[in-house]
Homo-oligomer: A and B are copies of this chain.
Amino acid sequence: MNSTATQDRVLNDAEIAELAQQLRVDAVRAAAAAGSGHPTSSMSAAELIAVLLARHLHYDFDDPKNPGNDHLILSKGHASPLLYAAYVAAGAVTEEELLTTYRKFGSRLEGHPTPKLPWVDVATGSLGQGLPIGAGVALSAKRLDDLPFRTWVLCGDSELAEGSIWEAFEMAGVEGLDNLTAILDINRLGQRGPTRHGWDLDAYARRIEAFGWHVEEIDGHDVAAVDEAMKTARRTRGKPTAIIARTRKGRGVAAVEDQEGFHGKPLPDADAAVSELGGVRHLRVHVQPPEQTPRRQFGGDPTAQLPRYDLGDQVATRNAFGDALTVLGTRREDVVVLDGEVGDSTKAQEFAKEHPERYIECFIAEQQLIATAVGTGVCERLPYASTFAAFLTRAHDFLRMAAISRSDIKVVGSHAGVAIGEDGPSQMALEDLAMMRTLHGSTVLYPCDANQTARLVTALAGSPGIGYLRTTRGATPVIYGPDEEFPVGGCKVLRSSPEDQVTLIGAGVTLHEALAAADQLVADGTRARVIDLYSVKPVDAQELRAAAETTGRFVVVEDHHPEGGLADAVLESFCNGHPMPLLTRLAVHTMPGSATPDQQLHAAGINADAIAAAARKLVNTPLTTVSSR
């Protein structure tokens, strides 16, 4: 058998077994060449991937954006040598690239797969994420687009301990996602030893079946059995299928097979291992392309008007978010909205009234909420996922990985800060700005009024990467006209004169407190500049530096813990050697309890009185250089 012989026809079982051995050999060689990697975790799943590639996957490697392509997600991302070896067998990557660049600086063949490779939908490597995202892809295909492709997810057994996996089993089971197949590589051994259930396949089967899935228990090294299970998965209607495959880690090399202590390292003697596996092969597999599927064009009415709010009216920014999102949905039919069972509070459910077919209820499962968003993004949708901002911390790791995936998802967190009032600290987001700012490439916006919110909801759509909008529970006065523009990366200077002695910087609820403080200060004869820092990331460094030059003194006030929020965002503008203003940081230093919103702002020391007092103190502090040097 040579590469020509296997081109363009379906392989027989013996040939697939040979292909599996090739995948093992190439995984072993890749890790040996790199000096690191996970060959043993790759070897257990070689038949699973070989059969999938040769008989069941429909994929056009020359056209990875083809909407008819199946999706293959490597939830056990550390088995990247297996995936890359499969790409070699499919002719998408050369053997040379695999053996010379894997895990090397600048390579697209990273230690764990990322979308630097055109065939990789999402980055994996933090376990328990591939299946939730795969469920999101499958849901998007079935519910939103009626696309014919199938999503295949290869999971490890250790990661089945992650709760996020069960959020996925639950959603996919209840939604009847028969276009989704989870292939579970039950090799018995985790990183540091045996898994909880070892080779007790029934333990997994009982659980997964109870979640509404069809299950197939097989010997994962038996090509015919794997093939049969995948056939069954493709035939099964109304339920997703889990193929629970008993496998052996390091399969085929006696020195490591089913042994502890060989996770995540090259084989001790790679040359001997390659010999034991039957030597290097150069098989090529012809992966079936999908049926022709037309590219989708998303329509919409771009002239649909954003809501307009009257100056002075009291409107909660969460309400404006719901209203504007609904209009955005009319303007752009690619927009989908995902709720974490709080749509009545976040006001996302306004969208559902107008566009019910594009509203997905994810229930109280924030990891699956973000995973579903990422999954719809894979299917070229523009997702807006929302819940209480505090509960987004539940999905922090999914957001972190979405940044590595270069996902274009929009996240909206309501009920920010102590300003929510009586519900108390469990419901208060006091860490969300820090969390969202730290995500690579993120955009973080925090509106203070309804017209601004409406504009920022649409601005997020135009900012690639992870976008975050922070909304407020209570009503705030409308201070901007409906035609005002709010570019991402900008700010609004609301009070300004050349005589300003201090700059007050707020956003959201604290912007209104800052304005009130400025009024108090005027009564003293103190001129305060006021800046609305609605774009928390990126910040408007130019305007902040100008304010520093004029006033030399900043009071930054935020409804957030002191770390990682507004004040830190302000200081970023000065962190490349720019002269810094004197700065007073007003933030939530204490642990709040229950109280009215006004009491909360007062107790935290972030209301107008506290701002005015801090400003008075600061203007009496002389501006000196820090050092005489």
Contacts and interface: CB of A to CB of B under 8 A. Distances in A.
Most buried by B among A342, A424, A621, A626: A626
A441 B77 contact: no
Nearest to A562: B572
Nearest to A403: B591
Contact of A393 (B123, B210, B400, B625): B400
Interface in A124-166: 124-128, 158-159, 161-166
A440 interface: yes
Contact of A425 (B123, B128, B435): B123
A135 to B, nearest CB: 12
A353 interface: no
A563 B562 contact: no
A424 B548 contact: no
Interface in A303-351: 339, 341-345, 349
Interface string A423-457: 11111001100110111110000000000000000
Interface in A549-570: 549-553, 561-564, 567-569
B594 A191 contact: no
Nearest to A421: B36
A34 interface: yes
A11 interface: no
A121 interface: no
B623 A625 contact: yes
A217 interface: no
Contacts of A426: 77, 112, 114, 123-126, 401, 404
A537 B624 CA distance: 27
Given A424-B112, A501-B629, A192 B548 contact: no
A36 B422 contact: yes
A618 interface: yes
B167 A349 contact: no
A235 interface: no
Interface residues of A, number: 128
A105 B595 CA distance: 4
Interface stretch (A62-70, A236-244, A275-283, A579-587): A579-587
> How many copies of this chain sit in the oligomeric assembly?
2
Contact of A623 (B190, B594, B627): B627
Nearest to A619: B629
A525 interface: no
A627 B210 contact: no
Interface stretch (A15-23, A288-296, A359-367): A359-367
Contact of A165 (B163, B569, B581): B163
A339 B423 CA distance: 34
Contacts of A553: 577, 627, 629
A486 interface: no
A626 B549 contact: yes
A208 B434 CA distance: 37
A110 interface: yes
A201 to B, nearest CB: 13
Contact of A583 (B191, B192, B209, B574): B574
Contacts of A532: none
A211 B390 CA distance: 29
Contacts of A594: 103-105, 107, 109-111
Contact of A210 (B114, B123, B210): B210
Interface in A341-389: 341-345, 349, 363-368
Interface in A465-480: none
A424 B161 CA distance: 23
A106 interface: yes
A206 interface: yes
Nearest to A163: B163
Interface string A164-203: 1111001000100000000000000011100110000000
19 contacts: A110-B593, A158-B363, A161-B167, A162-B365, A162-B394, A163-B165, A163-B167, A191-B342, A210-B210, A391-B397, A434-B435, A434-B563, A440-B561, A537-B563, A552-B629, A579-B625, A580-B626, A623-B625, A623-B629
Interface of A: 34-37, 77, 103-107, 109-112, 114, 116, 123-128, 158-159, 161-167, 170, 174, 190-192, 195-196, 206-207, 209-211, 339, 341-345, 349, 363-368, 390-391, 393-394, 396-397, 400-401, 403-404, 421-427, 430-431, 434-435, 437-441, 501, 537, 548-553, 561-564, 567-569, 571-572, 574-585, 591, 593-596, 599, 603, 617-618, 621, 623-629
